[in-house]
A = this chain, B = another copy of it.
Amino acid sequence: MGRWEPDAAGRLREAAMALYTEQGYDGTTVAQIADRAGVTARTFFRHFADKREVLFAGSEELQHRMVAALAAAPPAAGPMDAIATGLLAGTDLFSGRRDYARRRQAVIAANPELREREFIKMAALATALTDALRDRGVAVGIAALAAETGVAVFRVAFDRWVTAPEDPDLSEITRATITDLAGLTT
């Protein structure tokens, strides 16, 4: 990235989201996104593989952070505490980005191909968290249960955050959702 393109990735993300919201995902081209962001298509492709990846590039970073935090949880932490540590480490990524997250969710909800992609990303996250728990010595059946439940908690917390009337902190909401789950299952 040249120094004449400060935060081109961020500008491309904003431009893409604006166009997806205005004219729909299907009707938007990479050329239009690059144009709106004031960069060339070549610059677009330096940051994203295609117009879909503008929406999903953050998922890998999210998974990476959650897995790293889970792996670094104290050895004495039980599976669900380790999962909670992982989930909470991921919430930082969304700080100050609620408006973007809300628009992203609306674009994805309107498009079957994008919904499917989102499901696959969440399934991959559950698998990665399962593997990270197994690396801590958790039995496979329990690891999968804790990881799948953790992803369900994260998705519900994320929905609560995006739809909340005020602008609360995602990590607070995630903590509250974990507490709600404990209340539900006892």
| A interface with B by C-beta (< 8 Å) | 78-80, 115-116, 119-120, 123, 141-142, 144-146, 148-149, 151-153, 155-156, 159-160, 177, 180-182, 184-186
Is B79 in contact with A184, judged by CB distance below 8 angstroms?
yes
Is A148 in contact with B141, judged by CB distance below 8 angstroms?
no
Known contacts A119-B116, A119-B120, A152-B149; is A142 also within 8 Å of B184 by CB? Answer: yes
A-B pairs with beta carbons under 8 Å apart, 11 shown? A79-B184, A80-B184, A119-B120, A119-B123, A141-B156, A142-B180, A142-B184, A145-B177, A148-B152, A149-B184, A186-B186
Give Cα A49 to B182, complex, Å: 43
Give Cα A146 to B185, complex, Å: 9
Chain A at the B interface: SS class:
helix
Is B184 in contact with A160, judged by CB distance below 8 angstroms?
no
Give Cα A144 to B159, complex, Å: 10
Give Cα A180 to B78, complex, Å: 13
Chain B residues positioned under 8 Å from A159 (CB to CB): 144
Chain B residues positioned under 8 Å from A115 (CB to CB): 120, 123
Chain B residues positioned under 8 Å from A120 (CB to CB): 115-116, 119
